[in-house]
Structure 1
Amino acid sequence: MNASGIDYAAVFQALPGAVLLLTPEFEIADANEALLRRAGRERHQLIGRVLFDVFPDNPGDPDATGTRNLRASLERVLATGAPDTMALQRYDVEAPGRPGVFEERYWSPVNAPVLDADGRVRLIVHRVEEVTGIVRAAAGDRDGDRQRMAAELYTRAQELQGANERLRRAHAREQEVALALQEAMLPAPPPVGHHRAAVRYRPATGALHVCGDWYDLAELSGDRMAVAVGDVVGHGLSAACVMGQLRSALSAAARVVVGPARALEVLGIYARSVDGAESTTAVQTVVDWTTHTITYSSAGHPPPALLHTDGTVELLDRATDPPLGARPEHVDRPEARVAFDEGAVLVLYTDGLIERRREDIDVGLGRLTAALTRHRAADAESLADALLAELLPPGGATDDAALVIVRL
């Protein structure tokens, strides 16, 4: 029982549909009574064993595809963190007590993830409805039309599954192109004057999670450097293309206008003409080593962090405005300035580094602050690696993460 007074274990066992709970390694963690009845198995024969060891394909049927199709569906759930509904499947089951004897069975499966607080797949709910009787009844009916309809239903289901597989392959090719484009536009930065920075980019876990995060560093007149990060809403090739346009526009603006606020104003005007640029967030900073100051402005982006030499961390959040395109008319953006001592560290990042599902952003900012304090003596490259190792979920993030570190 829990605080609500509902015994969910009893509910699980009473479900009329057949359900398995699988680990990310496809081991059977639990099975309800309906599943045990339909499979003709005892609980001890299933729990702790790999699904495909318990229910293998019929070795006497060279055309059997049940195992392959089900594994592909489960792997999609792990990769995307989203439910996957399968087409009608023929998946024969070994007869209870008769090793090597397989019974023809038809199933309608759905696989759904159970996510933890970090968005990782903790369990997979595998629900199946057996439709063997319906298929056999239709196929055995004396009415030839109904028999043909049953055969056509199964054929169409297999065709649909093939079409879905082709669509997934096409989507995967798009993802490869987007990654290549993103890598080409986000190379390791060359030294800016005598100053060096560490940059990192980590795509989200899953083949279809290519986003529009970017970073940019530019040398300005005098002993100054412009450092920016941004995040385009969306995924895939279109988001990567929008990212490239906005990154180039902001980089150019930072070189010709006075101050980060004006650079973001120019970017906002330009973004109005770019499809898909709405609600993009970005932050622009200018580091001036002559005056030992950082000037900054943010368009709805998480605040940069300034790690001072005494180990304290200051979040640069005194010049934050809405994302690009959030206002119908132009409004001057705010700008703020902060002083730094030699040896301080400036950290810019995108929300994938700190945000978690169902968690307040302040919790993520607290993790970032604590990690910076712990690793304050590290050089820029080591600090970048430490932040990624500590702040990204062990199973991979559900959003991209870009990171720039400059030791001042």
Structure 2
Amino acid sequence: MADAEIDYAAVFQSLPGMVALLTPELVYADANEQFVRMSGRSRQQLVGNYLFDVFPDNPDDPAASGMRNLAASLRRVLATGERDTMAMQRYDVQSMEQPGRWEERYWSPVNAPVLGPDGEVVLLVHRVEEVTEFIRDRGGPTDTRARALEAELYFRARELQEVNERLRRAHAREREVALALQEAMLPTPRLKKDGRVAVRYRPAIGALNVCGDWYDLVDLVGGDRIGVAVGDVVGHGLAAACAMGQLRSALSAASRVADGPAQALDVLGRYAHVVAGAESATVVITFVDFAARTISYSSAGHLPPALVHADGRVEFLDAATDPPLDASPDPVPRPQATTTFADGATLVLYTDGLVERRREDIDTGLERLADALVRHRSADPETLADAVLRELLPPEGATDDTALVVVRL
């Protein structure tokens, strides 16, 4: 049904619950049928009249504050342009049949803005839940207080639920920005060995779980060589993604001029010392020399790369492991190791989201990875990468990011 066919005035009158529209001057612009009926005021007594002339505070009760609290809420909505959910309020409402007689009422209001084309508040939606019957005394003063407390707890819980929903939307927006940033900084590599390389990145499930996982591949100067690295920044969200981008860029530049992977990590460690959020980040980098058939590597606290030899043997490259970046106030040169390979071998670098599971020893995850790599070792890099992710990541999604690089040697 097109919007033009919908009678929104009829929809407004039929809304469940008490709903009124107020101008920015807090004058009633309209009220639905239930608001008219439950408030005890006619439409003529409402529309066109100032809210607090229709419903003033009880002048005989100096402690009466319901209307003052409502005024403060409405002013917040006008000032911020955001919805405001009030806790349950007690109001003394003057009887229209018996002037001077005030009836005790309990209302739970929600006030929301209606914005015009310029973003300014042009109307206020004032929705009220009438909970007087829920509170009303059915067994003496003690019972009244208990019912009031019960209702207050209920509406506090509802208010907290709305706050949580706002936080969820804010976190979802942060996740969206962080993912966009990560994807922009983790492009598909353009290497001389393009057909022999596959990369994958899988974000964690949940609005708060965008992390700092990253990968990098570069053509190295001198000979038929490439540099391959993966890393993981501690933390979640936009801050982790920003730190990740800085470390990745720095390592990419250092790799092109370093004598080896250990020297590249030395440079990166000094840089990490001045990057907010980079402390305790882990990274492993390999220099692959296709002509010499060697892999030189160095690790700063990261999980070891897996080298799948052509005969199916899996070698985890763990002979040059050191603490994470910026872990020591006085950094010392990083260790470096070298291994050899034959044609048809496969090098796999990954982050902990691929193999780590709660309440499970890390060796179990590494064994699971080795098994999958052996069974799919004859597949091309793209197919192998997909198979590993499919078999190792939970079907419902992982709670940590995963970066994966597969290089056919």
Measured against the shorter chain, the TM-score band is 0.5 to 0.7
Distance verdict in 2 for CA 1:255–1:140, change over 3 Å: farther
What letter is aligned with 1:174?
E
Determine if the alignment matches structure 1 residue 284 to structure 2 residue 321. no
What letter is aligned with 1:377?
S
| 3-state SS of paired residue (2:360) | coil
The CA deviation string for residues 265-316 of structure 1, in whole angstroms up to 9 with x for no partner, is 1111111111111110000100011211010000010000111111111110
Match of 1:50 in 2: none
| 3-state SS of paired residue (1:337) | strand
| 3-state SS of paired residue (2:259) | coil
What letter is aligned with 1:355?
E
1: CA distance, partners of 2:190 / 2:315: 27
Distance verdict in 2 for CA 1:195–1:393, change over 3 Å: same
Determine if the alignment matches structure 1 residue 362 to structure 2 residue 363. yes
- Rg (Cα) greater in structure: 2
Between stretches 158-167 and 270-279, larger displacement belongs to 158-167
Determine if the alignment matches structure 1 residue 261 to structure 2 residue 262. yes
Displacement, 1:197? 0.8
2: CA distance, partners of 1:189 / 1:208: 28
Displacement, 1:383? 0.4
The CA deviation string for residues 203-223 of structure 1, in whole angstroms up to 9 with x for no partner, is 112222100000000011221
1: CA distance, partners of 2:139 / 2:191: 76
What letter is aligned with 2:383?
S
Displacement, 1:189? 1.3
1: CA distance, partners of 2:403 / 2:225: 22
1: CA distance, partners of 2:338 / 2:135: 76
| 3-state SS of paired residue (1:266) | helix
What letter is aligned with 1:197?
V
What letter is aligned with 1:363?
T
Distance verdict in 2 for CA 1:138–1:345, change over 3 Å: farther
Displacement, 1:137? 7.2
Structure 2 gaps of 5+ residues are 1-13, 19-86, 88-130
1: CA distance, partners of 2:293 / 2:389: 28
Alignment of 1:389-404 (within 5 A): 389-404=390-405
1: CA distance, partners of 2:138 / 2:158: 17
What letter is aligned with 1:205?
I
Distance verdict in 2 for CA 1:390–1:139, change over 3 Å: farther
2: CA distance, partners of 1:379 / 1:153: 60
Distance verdict in 2 for CA 1:139–1:358, change over 3 Å: farther
Match of 2:382 in 1: 381
What letter is aligned with 2:174?
E
Work out the percentage of aligned pairs sharing the same amino acid.
67
2: CA distance, partners of 1:219 / 1:405: 16
Distance verdict in 2 for CA 1:145–1:250, change over 3 Å: same
Match of 1:51 in 2: none
Alignment of 1:193-232 (within 5 A): 193=193, 196-221=196-221, 222-232=223-233
What letter is aligned with 2:401?
D
Alignment of 1:9-408 (within 5 A): 62=16, 136=135, 146=145, 153-193=153-193, 196-221=196-221, 222-408=223-409
What letter is aligned with 2:334?
R
What letter is aligned with 1:185?
M
Displacement, 1:187? 1.5
Which TM-score applies when normalising by structure 2?
0.64
2: CA distance, partners of 1:268 / 1:168: 35
What letter is aligned with 2:298?
S
Which TM-score applies when normalising by structure 1?
0.64
Displacement, 1:144? 12
Between stretches 263-272 and 191-200, larger displacement belongs to 191-200
User: Over the residues paired in the alignment, what is the CA RMSD in angstroms?
Assistant: 2.9
> Does the Cα contact within 8 Å between 2:181 and 2:241 map onto a contact in 1?
yes
> Does the Cα contact within 8 Å between 1:348 and 1:405 map onto a contact in 2?
yes
Distance verdict in 2 for CA 1:277–1:141, change over 3 Å: farther
1: CA distance, partners of 2:200 / 2:237: 19
| 3-state SS of paired residue (1:190) | coil
Distance verdict in 2 for CA 1:61–1:261, change over 3 Å: same
> Does the Cα contact within 8 Å between 1:227 and 1:286 map onto a contact in 2?
yes
Distance verdict in 2 for CA 1:157–1:294, change over 3 Å: same
2: CA distance, partners of 1:139 / 1:284: 74
2: CA distance, partners of 1:265 / 1:141: 76
Distance verdict in 2 for CA 1:145–1:138, change over 3 Å: closer
> Does the Cα contact within 8 Å between 2:136 and 2:144 map onto a contact in 1?
no
Match of 1:26 in 2: none
Displacement, 1:158? 3.0
Distance verdict in 2 for CA 1:63–1:404, change over 3 Å: farther
> Does the Cα contact within 8 Å between 1:139 and 1:148 map onto a contact in 2?
no
Aligned residues: 283
Displacement, 1:322? 0.6
Distance verdict in 2 for CA 1:392–1:154, change over 3 Å: closer
Distance verdict in 2 for CA 1:317–1:163, change over 3 Å: same
2: CA distance, partners of 1:262 / 1:140: 80
| 3-state SS of paired residue (1:306) | strand
Displacement, 1:150? 6.3
Structure 1 gaps of 5+ residues are 1-59, 65-87, 89-131
